Amino acid sequence: MNMTMTQKILADRAGLDSVKEGDLVIAKLDMVLGNDITTPVAIDAFKSAKFSEVFDKNKISLVMDHFAPNKDIKAATQSQQCRCFANDFDIKHYYDVGNMGVEHALLPEQGIVTIGDLVIGADSHTCTYGALGAFSTGVGSTDMAIGMAKGEAWFKVPGAMRFELKGKLRPNVSGKDVILHIIGKIGVDGALYRSMEFGGEGLKNLTMDDRLCIANMAIEAGAKNGIFEVDDITIDYAKGRTSKEFRIYSPDKDAIYEQVFEINLDSIDHTVAFPHLPENTKEREQWGEVKIDQVVIGSCTNGRLSDMEVAAKILKDKKIAKNTRCIIIPATQNIYLECIARGYLETFIKAGAVVSTPTCGPCLGGHMGILAANEKCVSTTNRNFVGRMGHITSEVYLASPEVAAASAIKGMLCAPDDIL
């Protein structure tokens, strides 16, 4: 029927045999997500609409992660509002200080979202769950409110772009380099309101953490969502995390794609997005000398265990450069605990880094690492807009955990090969 993966999921949840680009559909939701910034607005809209109940207390997730632990009275008040709402409606998936994590790392880890789900979240990086062959996308807080009450949302069916993956990544090159390479190629509006669909023989050479990172940044190319074909790696990851039945959607052989890109993983080098857009990418021979003040390793893009592992490998028995701050943020409590068990925290602290409880913190300029005027930061986060991490004259360089850790040691933008 010429349908892509995304179109098949939307058709299924809308109760239709088929859909095509441009169709408007109302689809049933498997999960509605909000955080401590967006949920209070949704709660206000929920009350304003005089809704008196949620559609399913098991299909709503509220994660206090952006300004938690609360940085000020306003942040505390927002979390309190979320906490009261969760108690009033007995929301099963409510995560606060002590058991929370960065939302887009936490939900896949806990099996709250899984293969084939349809998920909306009042956060633009909800597209992360496409790594599981799910359709997930960010929405406004009003749509979140209606989703919590009705269990439905409306969608304009997107067209699609196909990314055919070939080959295998070089050592110390990872999923972050892949997505930065792609965004540099097509631009921040290159996939505007389209589904970025990933498949091909090279897929087997990408870990789930690579895929989660790539799907997470689909929005940085303007995409409605990113989505990966489901394979044995996906299924192995999802098994044991949830009792929900998997629904696997594959694209039709004659699925309609506006563009098809071949991505040769072998040819991708360490890639960094220079200020002030994710499309402003440069490979290492183009970097020049960039002295830095801070490094952040964490976020919903690169705060997973594999990211902590490569950072620990690079930082082992080394020291953070003088006058350089290094902030490392495991994305969930489970990842934090595993870092303790494996000795990574000792490695980080002995190197001179600081390790934070799970939080989005510095990524959005919230807390735990704000930049002063003219400071430069190498970060594993996903956006480097003007003033994103602090002062409007500060600069953010988006990079992989490998590049970030190496840069922390050198005190300047640096590839891991140069110090290992």
Whether residues 282 and 248 fall in one domain: no
Q: Please give the structure tokens belonging to residue 91.
A: 């929301």
Q: What is the pLDDT along the chain (420 residues), one digit of tens a residue?
A: 799 999 999 999 999 999 999 999 999 999 999 999 999 999 999 999 999 999 999 999 999 999 989 999 999 999 999 999 999 999 999 999 999 999 999 999 999 999 999 999 999 999 999 999 999 999 999 999 999 999 999 999 999 999 999 999 999 999 999 999 999 999 999 999 999 999 999 999 999 999 999 999 999 999 999 999 999 999 999 998 998 889 999 999 999 999 999 999 999 999 999 999 999 999 999 999 999 999 999 999 999 999 999 999 999 999 999 999 999 999 999 999 999 999 999 999 999 999 999 999 999 898 999 999 999 999 999 999 999 999 999 999 999 999 999 999 999 999 998 887
pLDDT given for residue 419 in this prediction: 81
Same domain, 296 and 346: yes
Give yes or no: residues 259 and 284 share one domain.
no
**The last residue of a domain, from among 239, 265, 291:** 265
The pLDDT score that the predictor gives to residue 190 is 94
CATH no. for residue 291?
3.30.499.10
Q: In the numeric block, which tokens belong to residue 72?
A: 């000020």
Residues 145 and 219 in one domain: yes
Per the CB < 8 A criterion, the answer to whether 331 and 102 are in contact is yes
Looking at the structure, do residues 144 and 59 belong to the same domain, yes or no? yes
Residue 201, burial from CB neighbour count under 10 angstroms (0-12, 13-18, 19+): exposed
Is residue 295 within 8 A of residue 204, CB to CB? The reply is no
35 and 179: one domain?
yes
Per the omega criterion (within 30 degrees of 0), is the bond before 171 cis?
A: no
Task: Report phi then psi at 119, rounded to 5.
Answer: -130, 135
- Is residue 167 within a helix (H) or strand (E), and if so which, with residue range? none
pLDDT of 127 reads: 97
Q: How many CB atoms lie within 10 A of CB 16?
A: 13
Burial class (CB in 10 A: 0-12, 13-18, 19+), 241: middle
Edge-to-edge strand list for the sheet holding 271-273? 281-283, 271-273, 395-398, 376-379, 294-297, 325-328, 354-355
- Do 379 and 247 lie in one domain? The reply is no
**Placement of tokens 């069916």 in the chain:** 157
Could you tell me if 400 and 174 are in contact, meaning their C-beta atoms sit under 8 angstroms apart? yes
- Inter-CA distances, 82 with 35, 42, 337, Å: 8, 10, 26
Range of the domain at 10: 5-265
173 and 261 both lie in a single domain: yes
Structure-derived torsion over alpha carbons of residues 355, 360, 364, 367, reported in degrees to the nearest 10: -50
Residue 216, CB half-sphere, CA atoms under 13 Å: how many?
28
> Tokens 């000792």 correspond to what residue?
346
Task: Please check whether residues 200 and 242 belong to one and the same domain.
Answer: yes
What does the alpha-carbon distance between residue 157 and residue 22 come to, in Å, rounded to a whole number? 5
Could you tell me if 237 and 306 lie in one domain?
no
What is the pTM assigned to this prediction?
Answer: 0.95
Count of structural domains within the chain: 2
What pLDDT does 344 receive?
A: 98
Q: Which of 174, 95, 181, 202 is nearest to 403 (CA)?
A: 174
Last residue of a domain, one of 237, 265, 293: 265
The residue among 238, 265, 292 that closes a domain is 265
CA dist., res. 94 & res. 85, Å (int) = 10
Label the pairing between strands 325-328 and 354-355: parallel
Give the pLDDT confidence score for residue 18 in this predicted structure.
95
Are 350 and 318 within one domain?
yes
> Measured between alpha carbons, how far is 390 from 392 in angstroms, rounded to an integer?
6
Are 223 and 299 in the same domain? no
pLDDT for position 420: 72
> Please, are residues 3 and 255 in contact by the beta-carbon 8 Å criterion?
yes
| DSSP bridge pairs for 377 | 294, 396
Helix axes 333-342, 344-351, angle to 10 degrees: 80
* pLDDT (0 to 100) of residue 1: 76
CA distance 379 to 362: 9
- Residue ranges of E strands in 145-277: 152-156, 159-166, 194-199, 225-228, 259-264, 271-273
